[in-house]
Structure 1
Amino acid sequence: MVDQVKLMIAEEQKFQGKALSLSHTKTAITTMKEKFTEQQLQMFEQSCFGHLLRIEDLKWTSPIVHGLLLRKADPKTVSQLNGIKFIVGNKVIQFTAQQFCIVTRLRFGNLPFILIPTNENCSLKRKYFANDKTVNLLELEKAFLKCDDEDDVLKLGFIYFAVFVLLGSEKHVHIDMRYLKLAEDLEEFGKYPWGAITSE
């Protein structure tokens, strides 16, 4: 019942704001298309992320996102909380992680164990980040742009897309180093439950 569900932010406490998107979608996809060969681009298009190349021209509408976030239901007043719920009009609507994965066509499930990469067990770590315990988005981007090894360009490109487009963050933020190890096997990289990560 809508009457029992309360807003997280009461109507009288609404405020003007601008919801930010930290995804570098347009820039990242343009960079990848310029860096990849035709064959590499075709391989990427056939991957778990391929269909997402079409979001390059997707417009971010911060007023709509901000308005919807102001309608978020207080979880303490919601029974059977599954995902995120909003009060829109006179109805409670919800958006679940499973629905997110259906819309994005990304896998959903338990996160598998991935070894922490070292110079001994991960060639990407050894070749491009041998002296680094952590790597931020800017350093990853530099390595991707400078890379001239055909196989490594593709592997770094997958990580680049994941962190720049799907996960989105400021360029000084560190990436999860385990993605370097995961990208060594692109088949396993494609099976990774990216939907579970991005819907959090």
Structure 2
Amino acid sequence: MDAFGNFNQHVNMPNDFGNMPNDQEMEEASMDPPSYPQSTIEVREKWCILQSLRDVMTPPIETTIRQTCFGPYLDNRCTICDSLLLIGVAQLQISTPFPHLGISYRLRGGLFTFIPKQFCLITGLRFGHTSWSPIEHPNLFKNIFFRPGSTVSFGKIMSLFENVGQLNEDDTTRICLLMLIGQGFLGWQKTNVVDNMLLDLVDNLEEFRQYPWGNYFWESTYSVVYNLHNRQKGDDKGFSLSGFVWPFKVPVNVN
């Protein structure tokens, strides 16, 4: 299977590339970006977590994480989330004429639609089918650290990370991966609920490595970025964004 896999089973992904509109149809259906007062945007992604991860990772833990698709992100030395650039993204975004394809922008007078294939090329996170389903056997990791059947907030993961020195290497690896995904990629806060899928996947690191993470991050971020151009507040107010919004800045930066 190639990195793009098959999008058919995912709600916010293109499912009919054979009937994609041509450039003229896209152009005719689009409109100019709206004009609105510039707001402030707080990006919740906190890549400063990387330094904290470096402080606790032993060589075996780092090796295990580098064997996943998240390995290259450990080398990211820029921890600044440029909110001004994201404002530029919002100002260039237009109402998407074909929302099942992706998110549209006006760049250099032309129409550009950001789709999952470009998301994959920029991030290195592949798309595809997944064999994951809620496990029938007990989740050992979850049952050790959390009450069986309970809802796990990200705040509980953060608390475990603060005491990670008391954990064995396997569990430290799991907590580091959850911190990287939750705080680095998605900008979760303490009250966010950790998906049972994530808890199951870190319990089985081989399944974790095989999972098509492009699916997860596209779906987690699409709904946040899709109507970014319509999110307006008063002149003295702004809003915050969760999700993996960094890839959506790249086309505007290139522009």
TM-score by length of 2: 0.67
Counterpart position of 2:75: 54
Distance 1:144-1:80 versus aligned 2 partners, 3 A rule: closer
Shift of 1:20: 2.4
Q: Are the equivalent residues in 2 in contact too, given 1:47–1:190 (CA < 8 A)?
A: yes
Highest RCO, 1 vs 2 (Cα 8 Å, sep ≥ 6):
2
CA distance in 1, matches of 2:75, 2:171: 24
Shift of 1:80: 8.1
1:21-67 per-position Cα deviation (integer Å, ceiling 9, x unaligned): 111211x2122111121221122223211001123414322122112
Counterpart position of 1:91: 110
Of 107, 110, 128, the match for 1:109: 128
Counterpart position of 1:188: 207
1:120-151 per-position Cα deviation (integer Å, ceiling 9, x unaligned): 60111111112661122121021233241121
Distance 1:3-1:197 versus aligned 2 partners, 3 A rule: same
Shift of 1:108: 0.9
Letter in 2 for 1:59: I
CA distance in 2, matches of 1:199, 1:79: 17
Query: Unaligned regions of 5+ residues in structure 2, if any?
Result: 1-23, 220-255
Same amino acid, percent of matched pairs: 23
SS of the residue 1:19 aligns to? strand
Of 24, 29, 34, the match for 1:10: 34
Of 145, 152, 166, the match for 2:185: 166
Distance 1:163-1:80 versus aligned 2 partners, 3 A rule: closer
Distance 1:174-1:116 versus aligned 2 partners, 3 A rule: farther
1:83-129 per-position Cα deviation (integer Å, ceiling 9, x unaligned): 11101231111211121111111121234443168xx6011111111
Aligned Cα root-mean-square deviation (Å):
2.3
CA distance in 1, matches of 2:198, 2:92: 35
Distance 1:79-1:177 versus aligned 2 partners, 3 A rule: closer
Whether 1:23 aligns to 2:45 is yes
TM-score by length of 1: 0.84
CA distance in 2, matches of 1:81, 1:177: 27
Query: Unaligned regions of 5+ residues in structure 1, if any?
Result: none
Q: Give the count of matched residue pairs.
A: 192
Counterpart position of 1:130: 147
Shift of 1:156: 2.0
